[in-house]
């Protein structure tokens, strides 16, 4: 397991990250809704590039340029929100970006990444070899690999969401955050541990991708035997990263990890669109699904439950099908 620095050092890094990325990312609002008075939602779908990933990507890219002013560029393996966010942040910092994407990913995603000026490498890439290919490109082209979640700069950037929540609501009863590789929840965990330790931090996974729940239960980093089948494609990673495991399980900063079914998730996605009026992607509805199904505390006006809607880069055909069902 990667060594974990004391929580207060991480909090200081998150506070530095907030200063570093200010002006590049957006301070998303914390919203009330018509659903319940004890609920508040943090829509990272309204973030630059449509997801929370912009926070980590900007912190990683800007930190890299501070440390290595002559660096040529960055590379990563992500066909999703991290790929788009890194491409966007690299361009803003004047760096090259190469994004390694498995063959067969939808053309819309590749077009999205290219629209931010990045090079897309797809030939011969699979879900299993993409990390190795990204590492090889980093070596041969002198680029720095920015891992989607197992990277302290990325984690500290994601943690700025936690700073904003505790600025906007003094004492949240619970914070509910999706878990894929664990970048977002470990960042928020390190912020909350220092600023609002009495708040319960709760992770949410699809039932089909419950590796983090298993890891928390067993105390050992668990890996899914195969790629999970879930509508929440942003959390399809087979395990959390080592650094993320260290925070979530090693430091015991996540109180509980709950799971939701695919039906719960589609119900929640409809509620997000129809009742919250927020156009989010399926992964973004995970925490809402946990709330609606009563798997997390209902919250009160004084100590609300805050749910993080992680992103809004939905596939229009998927949403069209759900809304016409």
Active-site residues, by number, are: 53, 79
Q: What is the largest CA-CA distance in the chain?
A: 55
Distances, alpha carbon 102 to alpha carbons 20, 77, 146, 223, 231, in Å? 32, 9, 17, 20, 18
What's the min distance (Å) between Cβ of 2 and a second copy?
Answer: 34
**Cβ proximity to a second copy, 40 vs 120, nearer residue:** 40
Helix 81-92 with 53-67: angle, nearest 10 deg: 40
What's the min distance (Å) between Cβ of 290 and a second copy?
Answer: 21
What's the min distance (Å) between Cβ of 270 and a second copy?
Answer: 8
What's the min distance (Å) between Cβ of 272 and a second copy?
Answer: 8
What's the min distance (Å) between Cβ of 85 and a second copy?
Answer: 12
Residue 170 CA to residue 51 CA, distance in Å, equals 24
Residue 28 CA to residue 51 CA, distance in Å, equals 11
| Residues 130 and 96 sit within 8 Å (Cβ to Cβ) | no
| Residues 197 and 253 sit within 8 Å (Cβ to Cβ) | no
Residue 175 CA to residue 185 CA, distance in Å, equals 10
**Cβ proximity to a second copy, 93 vs 258, nearer residue:** 93
Helices of type H across 116-210: 130-141, 152-168, 183-195
Q: Quick one: CA dihedral 147, 112, 236, 77, positive or negative?
A: negative
68: left (phi over 0), alpha (psi -120 to 50) or beta: beta
What's the min distance (Å) between Cβ of 323 and a second copy?
Answer: 4
**Cβ proximity to a second copy, 105 vs 322, nearer residue:** 322
Q: Which of 148, 159, 151 is nearest to 82 (CA)?
A: 148
**Cβ proximity to a second copy, 252 vs 320, nearer residue:** 320
Q: How many residues does the chain have?
A: 325
List contacts with a second copy (CB under 8 A).
26, 29, 31-32, 34, 43, 45-46, 48-50, 272-274, 276-280, 312, 316-317, 319-321, 323-324
| Residues 282 and 265 sit within 8 Å (Cβ to Cβ) | yes
């Amino acid at each position: 397991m990667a060594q974990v620095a004391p929580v207060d050092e991480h909090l200081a890094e998150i506070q530095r990250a907030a200063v570093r990325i200010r002006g590049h990312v957006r301070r998303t609002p914390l919203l009330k809704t018509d659903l319940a008075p004890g609920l508040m939602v943090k829509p990272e779908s309204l973030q630059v590039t449509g997801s929370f990933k912009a926070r980590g990507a900007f912190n990683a890219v800007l930190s890299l340029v501070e440390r290595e002013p002559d660096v040529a560029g960055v590379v990563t393996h992500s066909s999703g929100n991290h790929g788009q966010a890194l491409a966007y942040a690299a361009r803003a910092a004047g760096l090259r970006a190469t994004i390694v994407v498995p063959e067969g990913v939808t053309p819309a995603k590749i077009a999205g990444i290219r629209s931010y000026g990045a090079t897309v490498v797809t030939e011969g890439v699979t879900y299993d070899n993409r990390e190795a290919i990204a590492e090889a490109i980093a070596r041969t082209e002198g680029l720095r690999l920015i891992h989607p979640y197992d990277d302290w700069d990325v984690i500290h950037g994601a943690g700025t969401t936690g700073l904003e929540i505790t600025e906007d609501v003094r004492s949240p009863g619970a914070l509910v955050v999706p878990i894929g590789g664990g970048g977002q929840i470990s960042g928020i965990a390190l912020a909350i541990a220092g600023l609002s330790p009495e708040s319960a931090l709760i992770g949410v996974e699809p039932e089909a991708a419950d590796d983090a729940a298993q890891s928390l239960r067993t105390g050992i980093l668990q890996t899914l035997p195969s790629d999970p089948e879930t509508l929440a494609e942003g959390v399809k990673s087979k395990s959390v990263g080592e650094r993320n495991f260290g925070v979530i399980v090693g430091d015991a900063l996540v109180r509980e990890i709950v799971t939701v079914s695919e039906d719960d998730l589609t119900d929640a996605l409809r509620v997000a669109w129809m009742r919250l009026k927020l156009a989010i992607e399926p992964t973004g509805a995970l925490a809402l699904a946990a709330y609606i199904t009563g798997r997390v505390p209902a919250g009160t006006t004084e100590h609300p439950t805050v749910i993080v809607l992680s992103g809004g880069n939905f596939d229009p055909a998927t949403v069209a099908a759900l809304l016409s069902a």
